[in-house]
Structure 1
Amino acid sequence: MSFSFSITPLSGGPPATNPRRGSSKSGSRKSSIDPTKLLRMDRSSFVPGDDKFNILFIGAGNIMFGSPEGPWNHSFRLEHKLGPRLKVVALVDPATERAAAVLQQKCESFVKSAYEHTRVCKDLDEFVNTMTKEEYPKAVIIGSPPMFRGSTLSGRDIEVQILKKFPGIALFVEKPVATGPFEELKDAFEVAKAIDSSGNICSVGYMLRYLKAVQMMKKTIEVNKLRVMATIARYACAYESIAKPDWWDKSKSAGPVIEQGTHFCDLSRYFGGEVDISTVAAHSLEWYEEAGKLGGIVIDEEKIEPENRIPRITSATWKYESGAVGTFTHCVVLKGHDYSCELEVFADGYQMKLVNPYVQPVLHIRRPGSDLEETYRFPDDDPFFSEISVFIDNIEDIEEDPETATMLSSYEDACKTYELTWAIRLASEKSRKSYQPPAQA
């Protein structure tokens, strides 16, 4: 199965400029958000208006419609943000039966009006060639697997094709931006240039940047005019609950640092700034080493070629361009369901430690003048809703209100995180011991 997007020219459609918006970019806004403005979904009213808000969905998987494995579900957040204005004009996915099934579930619920006219299309070409002017989308949510996007190559250049065929459309793109081979890293930056040149709104789904705890950390740094000295990140996944064979195969997922650890590499960059990629060093514990043997893998790893099996531990260090130091350790080690994740940020006199950001974030802050930690808890915070809410607010920002929150991850910024994760993987592979197949009896 693959996502193939062969495009024919589109005639007609709205003008390149969204008539509900001004022409200036949101880049002039701050790179952080007042945490008091990040409202929970149940305390936020939907965006008012009599007009329809047409959205095109790319991908019918878990990130778009949810799963028991995690809190992601973009359709659910859009339904609450836009209310009865939401109209999903099409769902593009080559797995048309799965797409039809999730739409059927939506049409049997209270959000029927958003999906009752949604068309299932096997590829973007089918939607473009059959689209009416009334179906022209205002935004597109790109949730297809990263191996099928983030490139300039035909069949994997969905972002570029959307820019060509839908002038003025806003893009929300899932992360990581791609999981292609390292040789194609430069292509992702070419996509970033195309998006930036278009002037279109674009947000990438690094939702942890939208946590209230993260924005409180940012505010502490800004108010006290601090210079970050070090970031220390740790990501330990519960591998026993990961049942996707592709995740265990580097040739398909690009490995756990790129596919999963990307969130904490991104948060590290969000606080530490630009990374000097030439300084990245890393080591790994591999599956074939004695300490790397795991007893709770739920897939048959023997079906994966030995060179494509993932490392159990990856530990990396680097220098930021500011001179600060960053470290990141990714662990495939825990059983059960819950992950264990922490990020520490150090500045002169300050230690800020973010714990358990995916479920119930807790922030510990030690400040000058006291050896005691202050503890802040953020129950029921929903960064998935916050990132969608900010995205829609920027589209609807008719007068370019300076109080409208900025989107926190551009496509180019996401490419730099992607570059860092690739640098970590390559450095760890360079330093590892070579695999020696067992001798034949």
Structure 2
Amino acid sequence: MAKTIVSDIIILCPRLRVVALVDLDASRATAALDAKLASPAAHAYADCKVFPTVAEAARSMLSQTPHIAIVGAPPFARGTDIPGRDLELQLVEAFPRCALFVEKPVSSGPEDACWRVADVLAKKGTLVGVGYMLRHGGTRPVPEDVRLTITSADLTGVLTTATIKPSSSRPLTSVRKRPVPYVPQRLIPGLLGDLSRYFGGDVHLPSVVAHTVQPHEAPGKLSAKRFDEDLIPPENRLPRLTSATWKYRGGAVGTLTHVIALHGNTYDTEFEVYADGYRFKLVDPYGTPKLCIRRPGVAEEDVHVFKEDDPFRTELETFVDVVEERSSRDRVLSSYEDAIKTYELTWAIRRASEAAAASYA
């Protein structure tokens, strides 16, 4: 959540007061706090205290009610109603009027437990936003502009397609040691899956089909590697390729491809939406986004480049505005319930791909 905190400082400036840092690892929390106190943001952390648990923080802060809690703990510590993995429920019990800004994915636990958490948050009226920042874009909300264009032209999308190609020299070839969804700690497929759902709507989960290329297969052998992969058990390695297809409940089709094959240190990322006569293509959403629009009957596409794009700041600035009641709750584009649906899609992709891989064995 480092970028979130940086954006928070820029947005709130002298209004920001970080009053508590909750972490079971006191030495790590203290080191992080010391770094902040030695930075230009020191004024925001002057009254901050470190606590091992939410309950202890609540007992020590009876006279203060935080406005926002940044829930940046690892996904195994949140998103469920299982004791010890129920950070959101602990927070709303301790600070009933506090809004929650939750890191993605919402959890690494069972999907049904996530829905039970969502039910509690809804009943308590807790404002929750989840950090799927690509829905917001940067200084100009590119995805929302595309959605408005589709709506105003009375279009119905037929296809969303997302591709993410991290380089093989980046440390993406090690994998899960816990039973978590498809590459959740890397988050990128989840981000693009979420952007896909933002345009395509709800997914008919039984329709998800996925295939993989595994590291031991001939196409999966790479000439450039960051480390000796033989040190990692085969079952704990990321697939070199995961390709998934699904049907949206509205009738359109979605695809997502995640391939680890390029050399170097950069991502190659594209997202497209096709509708009647139109193609919207977003390139490099994590760097300098470029939006290419092909319109009916026009040979040349419109190209818009967005420099100094900061989706983290745009997302958090929007959330702060809602907390301060300067904007409607509708402006929180990634609600907790909606983020669970993205989480369910990542699980469906993982299960389908592993089932397919097992059938080839």
Aligned to 2:38: 108
RMSD: 2.0
Aligned match of 2:24 in 85, 94, 99? Answer: 94
Aligned to 1:52: none
Q: Aligned-pair distance for 1:343? A: 0.7
After the TM superposition, which residues 278-297 of structure 1 pair with which residues of structure 2 at under 5 Å, given as runs? 278-297=206-225
Alpha-carbon distance in structure 2 between the residues aligned to 1:179 and 1:353 = 31
After the TM superposition, which residues 212-251 of structure 1 pair with which residues of structure 2 at under 5 Å, given as runs? 212-242=141-171, 248-249=175-176, 251=178
Unaligned runs of 5+ in 2: none
Aligned to 1:5: none
Aligned to 1:153: 82
The answer to whether residue 52 in structure 2 is matched with residue 122 in structure 1 is yes
TM-score (normalised: structure 1) = 0.77
Give CA deviations for 1:85-111 in whole Å, capped at 9, x if unaligned: 111111112222222122212212222
Aligned to 2:335: 410
Q: How many residue pairs align between the two structures?
A: 357
Q: Which runs of 4+ in 1 moved over 6 A?
A: none
Aligned to 2:136: 210
Aligned to 1:84: 14
Pick which of 247-256 and 420-429 moved more.
247-256
Secondary structure of residue in 1 paired with 2:204: strand
Q: Give the letter aligned to residue 258 of structure 2.
A: H
Alpha-carbon distance change, 178 to 300 in structure 1, aligned in 2, over 3 angstroms: farther
Secondary structure of residue in 2 paired with 1:318: strand
Alpha-carbon distance change, 118 to 299 in structure 1, aligned in 2, over 3 angstroms: farther
Q: Is the 8 A contact 1:272 1:326 kept in 2?
A: yes
The answer to whether residue 63 in structure 2 is matched with residue 133 in structure 1 is yes
Alpha-carbon distance in structure 2 between the residues aligned to 1:104 and 1:345 = 46
Secondary structure of residue in 1 paired with 2:296: coil
Secondary structure of residue in 2 paired with 1:261: helix
Alpha-carbon distance in structure 1 between the residues aligned to 2:227 and 2:178 = 16
Q: Aligned-pair distance for 1:205? A: 0.4
Aligned to 1:277: 205
Aligned match of 2:245 in 314, 317, 323? Answer: 317
Aligned match of 2:72 in 137, 143, 159? Answer: 143
Q: Give the letter aligned to residue 92 of structure 2.
A: L
Alpha-carbon distance in structure 2 between the residues aligned to 1:297 and 1:194 = 45
Q: Give the letter aligned to residue 277 of structure 1.
A: L
Alpha-carbon distance in structure 1 between the residues aligned to 2:333 and 2:161 = 21
Unaligned runs of 5+ in 1: 1-62, 66-72, 437-441
Secondary structure of residue in 1 paired with 2:33: helix
Alpha-carbon distance in structure 2 between the residues aligned to 1:124 and 1:301 = 39
Alpha-carbon distance in structure 1 between the residues aligned to 2:307 and 2:211 = 36
Alpha-carbon distance in structure 2 between the residues aligned to 1:202 and 1:300 = 41
Secondary structure of residue in 2 paired with 1:171: strand
Q: Give the letter aligned to residue 322 of structure 2.
A: N
Secondary structure of residue in 1 paired with 2:208: strand
Alpha-carbon distance change, 296 to 156 in structure 1, aligned in 2, over 3 angstroms: farther
Aligned to 2:308: 380
Give CA deviations for 1:362-409 in whole Å, capped at 9, x if unaligned: 0000111212111011111111001110110001116xx56x870100
